[in-house]
Amino acid sequence: METGGNNLLLGVLLVSIFFVSLFYSLHYRLAPVTDARAYDNIGWNLARGYGYIELEENRENPIIDDSIIRVGPGYELFLAGIYRVFGHDISSVWIFHALARVISTMLLYKIVFLIFKNNSHKKPIALLSAFLFGFSPDLILINGMLLTETLLITGLIIATYFSIRYMEDKRVMTAFYAGLSFGLTALVRPTVLLATVLFFFILLVYRRYKHAALFIIIPVIVVGGWSLRNSFLYERPLFTTTAGSYDLWVGNHSEATGGFDKTEEIQKARNSMHSTELSSFALKKYFTFLSEHPFQFIELQFRKTAIYFSLIRPTGFWSFLRSSPLEQILTLVGSGVWTLILFVFGASGAIYLFSTMGDIKTKLFLLFAFLQPLAVIPIIVETRYRYPLFPFLAVCAAFFMVKFLTETKEKKALYRTFGEVVILFVSLTFYDIWMNVGEFFLKLNNLIS
């Protein structure tokens, strides 16, 4: 049972997260550009009944529209619902983004109570987890943009909560809610389908066959319906969108460095082909690179792994911050400190939890965490693609910190785990610098000048 003091602290924390997130968004009032502009256009066209199109002039002929190359349609439908009620006012989106941050933080708090049910320090772990996640500078910043990350992370946490809760209560409706959460979140970004399949197989292993069937049928219907719509519209098999094949090529070619590297050939193909044609062409180019340059492909995956876990890739290099050097430095420092805490303490906590072989709820939580980098490293790694791992790292970091402060008998093992993790992350960071030294000097020069 939670005490009144803890409830008060949680309430203050949640209210603070809401207003900090909203204030940041209203302070900068970032106009949507590139991907955000595309999501905004699609959402507004949907709200006006023009259909799932990016350009209004394509409303009578949606097949020529390029909206299918955008990840979706989950976030675009989210925007459409807001615009339908409140009009084309981006400020209303920021309010819902802030609310999503509150919901995700609250559920993360509850997840801690599920996986640390028998831990006498579960309350401080839960509060510290909520703090580390809720006040992450990276997540506050991304909250002010019309990008999928805020909704994706919220959906992922909801799905994780119901999955872990199912392992506690074994109720059929909990399995249903888990399946629905995974299905809807997969429409935001299909990377969560790895966790969906994993949980389905866990249900089969535990011989919960009826519940497994109910769980999986919901994502199949939700994602399958969108896939059928696209396949019939474009007269070719399409899973969700064409973004996956295109990103595979962009992230894996002979000139790739791990990020979003568009060569002249890729840009030419992008400009000359419809996205459905580009999808097939890109997939062929990906497999050609894999077969003709297998060792370069393998090295590239190591490079992307180093980028993903690098400690010196804080957020703060967005163009809107360049006009405010002090704010950019504060963002970089805050993001850097949070990155260090989340990754080093979070990984230490995850390893320590894994070594203690906790119950199925803890193992499921750690498996979901492991799948987050696994879902993006083979494709493309950008700083914001790491964000879905943050809630898992926040919980593990809080666990490790509290255990370090309260444990006396296991101090030596805690020190050893922490030391090994520091060596690992320092090695990955130096590898990242070594392989991308030109990029780092360019960013440093831009920061100084």
Is the pLDDT score of 447 beyond 80? no
Can you tell me whether residue 316 is helix, strand or coil?
Answer: coil
> Cis peptide before 237, with omega less than 30 degrees from 0?
no
- The whole-number pLDDT of residue 448 equals 73
What is the C-alpha to C-alpha distance for residues 120 and 244, in angstroms, rounded to an integer? 44
What is the model's pLDDT at position 278? 86
CA atoms of 29 and 400, how far apart (whole Å): 37
Report if residue 147 sits inside a domain.
yes
% pLDDT > 70, the chain: 98
For residue 7, what pLDDT band results from cuts at 50, 70 and 90?
confident
What number of residues does the chain have?
449
Separation between Cα atoms, residue 77 and residue 96, nearest integer Å: 13
In a domain, 36, yes or no: no
**pLDDT level of residue 387 (50, 70, 90 thresholds):** very high
Write out pLDDT tens, residues 130-144. 999 999 999 999 999
Q: What percent of the chain is modeled with pLDDT above 90?
A: 71
416 domain residue, yes or no: yes
What CA–CA distance (Å, rounded) separates 187 from 71?
8
Q: How confident is the model over 286-320, as pLDDT tens digits?
A: 999 999 999 999 999 999 999 999 999 999 888 88
Examine residue 79 and state whether it is found in any structural domain, yes or no: no
Q: Which of the two residues, 241 and 341, has the higher pLDDT score?
A: 341
- Residues 67 and 38: beta-carbon distance below 8 Å: yes
Answer whether residue 430 is part of any domain: yes
- Please tell me the predicted confidence (pLDDT) of residue 245: 87
Q: In terms of C-beta distances under 8 Å and separation of at least 24 residues, what long-range contacts does 160-165 make, across chains too?
A: 160/111, 160/195, 160/365, 160/368, 160/391, 161/107, 161/110, 161/111, 161/114, 163/195, 163/199, 163/364, 163/368, 164/111, 164/114, 164/115, 164/361, 164/364, 164/365, 165/114
Q: Please tell me the predicted confidence (pLDDT) of residue 1.
A: 45
Q: How confident is the model at residue 356 (pLDDT cuts 50, 70, 90)?
A: confident
CA distances from 443 to 251, 263, 287, 432 (A): 21, 20, 33, 14
Distances (CA, A) of 72 to 39, 177, 186: 9, 21, 9
Which pLDDT does position 443 carry in this prediction? 79
d(CA 321, CA 335): 14
Average pLDDT over the chain reads 92
Q: Say what the pLDDT of residue 100 is.
A: 97
Cβ neighbours of residue 328 closer than 8 Å, sequence gap 6 or more: 316, 317, 321, 322, 447
- The answer to whether residue 442 scores a pLDDT higher than 90 is no
Give the residue-averaged pLDDT of 250-271. Answer: 87
Phi, psi of 408 (to 5 degrees): -115, -35
* Contact indicator for 343, 311 with CB cutoff of 8 Å: yes
- Range of 266's domain? 4-30+89-448
Q: What's the half-sphere exposure (Cβ side, CA atoms, 13 Å) at 177? A: 16
Task: Check if the beta carbon of residue 42 is closer than 8 Å to that of residue 53.
Answer: yes
Tally the domains of the chain: 1
Which DSSP letter does residue 1 get?
A: -
Phi-psi region of 51 (alpha: psi -120 to 50; beta: other; left: phi over 0): left
List the Cα angle 232/36/65 in 5-degree steps: 30
What pLDDT shows up at residue 188? 96
User: Mind listing the pLDDT tens digit for each residue in 211-235?
Assistant: 999 999 999 999 999 999 998 888 8
Q: Which residues contact 243 (CB under 8 A, 6 or more apart)?
A: 69, 70, 71
- Evaluate whether 92 touches 55 at the Cβ level (below 8 Å): no
Of 14, 31, 47, residue with least CA distance to 144: 31
Read off the pLDDT of each residue in 346-362 and give the average, rounded to a whole number.
89
Structure tokens at 75: 């976030």
Residue 327 or residue 355, greater confidence: 327
Mind listing the pLDDT tens digit for each residue in 88-144? 999 999 999 999 999 999 999 999 999 998 888 999 999 999 999 999 999 999 999
Angle at the Cα of 156 (from 123 to 33), degrees rounded to 5?
120
Does any domain span residue 104? yes
Burial class (CB in 10 A: 0-12, 13-18, 19+), 259: middle
Please give the residue that has the higher pLDDT: either 262 or 247.
247
Is 2's pLDDT higher than 70?
no
